[in-house]
Amino acid sequence: MNKDIKVTMMGLGYIGLPTAALIASQKIQVTGVDINAQVIETVNKGEIHIIEPDLEGLVKYTVEKGYLRARLDVVASDVYLIAVPTPFKDNHVPDISYVQAAIQHIIPLLKAEDLVIIESTSPVGTTEKMLELIGHTRPEIVEQVHLAYCPERVLPGKIIYELERNDRVIGGINEVATQKAIEFYQLFVKGTLHKTNARTAEMCKLVENSSRDVNIAFANELSLICDKAAINVWELINLANRHPRVNILQPGPGVGGHCIAVDPWFIVHDFPKEAQMISQARNINNYKTEWVIEKVKNAALEFELNHQRKPLVACLGLTFKPNIDDLRESPAKYIADSLFQQGLNLLFVEPNIESYNEQPLTSPKEAIQKADLIVLLVAHQKFQTLKAQLLTTEARVLDFCGFTHQSK
């Protein structure tokens, strides 16, 4: 496949926009489609609506050179990439309605030899369902369209680097579709491209994040045990990891983000009897978040009994992981919101965003100076300069992310 093709990216979010910009940087014509008019306007000015290192310069360059443009409506192309959300509904039922809607928008434009690739995390069998959807509407074209699944596997904060260099798993609906997709990704991916079928590729993404969730659950369960046993869990893990074949992860206030907190439920929903460990890991990580809330409430009650007034509580960090602006499925955000709704006097501290709902944001330095209770939820790099202040403050510090235990 040569670069003289037209590509449409359905969805310009945390994955869609970086992927579209990376493809466009290879002098390939890319049209990004999104339902948010403000996103379209922002991108077409060469600007970005998310925080991600190296992305702004890449978008600015590709827009100015005319290789990337954004629109509200879909245009005919040779390759269509689907990078839209796949959340879950009540009872953790996977919601693939956004993927279906994206496919329905491109169906009228499909022609023979077009390549359609789903990148959105999806339950096993989704790619086959989308082929059926195309066949129902365009039976005359369905056998001439190549459909494949290729999940992203990137780390926020390093998305551009990892989109280009990470290995990719690519599974087509048949061998021809797989090969077509491989040829396309070879245009902009330096990592190794691994061939498989669509079902295996779909499950691969779910398994990768479920594995991480299980390992985090072990660390979080350890933190609960150590709290009850009066053991410093951070010291314990550091010592246990001295074993040459042990690598325990770090506990936290829960698990968030658009992948690890969501993807395991896709497996649990489809395989409820078999996915026992995966299901329990999800429950442990969700419980850890509720446990943190109770610990903070108890500390606040103790302060109130001792000082005859309610404490001022500073929640440091709202994003789902350090050094990003992403609040999706964030346990820190959930904790802060829950504490506020339950009547605690709260300071919201998040240096990576400019506004938060209708609540004012407090600077980290001011929050530490004013607060009676300091709740560390996310170990942002921007908090590093305040570590000495945190270690010497008269306020009570509740560290749920290991920030004060990190090596200097």
Token pair of 303, please? 């302060």
73's CB contacts (< 8 A; 6+ apart) are 33
Q: Is the dihedral of CA 95, 96, 99, 104 positive or negative?
A: negative
Q: What angle do CA 392, 397, 401 make, to 5 degrees?
A: 115
Q: Which of the following is catalytic: 27, 150, 204, 205? A: 205
Name which of 337, 341, 388, 393 is nearest 367 in CA terms: 393
Q: Count the Cβ atoms, other than its own, within 10 Å of residue 368.
A: 21
Give the residue ranges of DSSP H helices in 25-54.
Answer: 37-44
Catalytic residue among 60, 158, 228, 259: 259
205 is annotated as an active-site residue: yes
Which of 221-241 are b and which e, b meaning 16 or more Cβ less than 10 Å from the residue's Cβ? bbbeebeeeeeebbebbeeee
Helix (H) or strand (E) holding 60: helix 55-64
What is the CA angle 129-132-138, rounded to 5? 145
Q: Which residues are catalytic, by number?
A: 205, 259
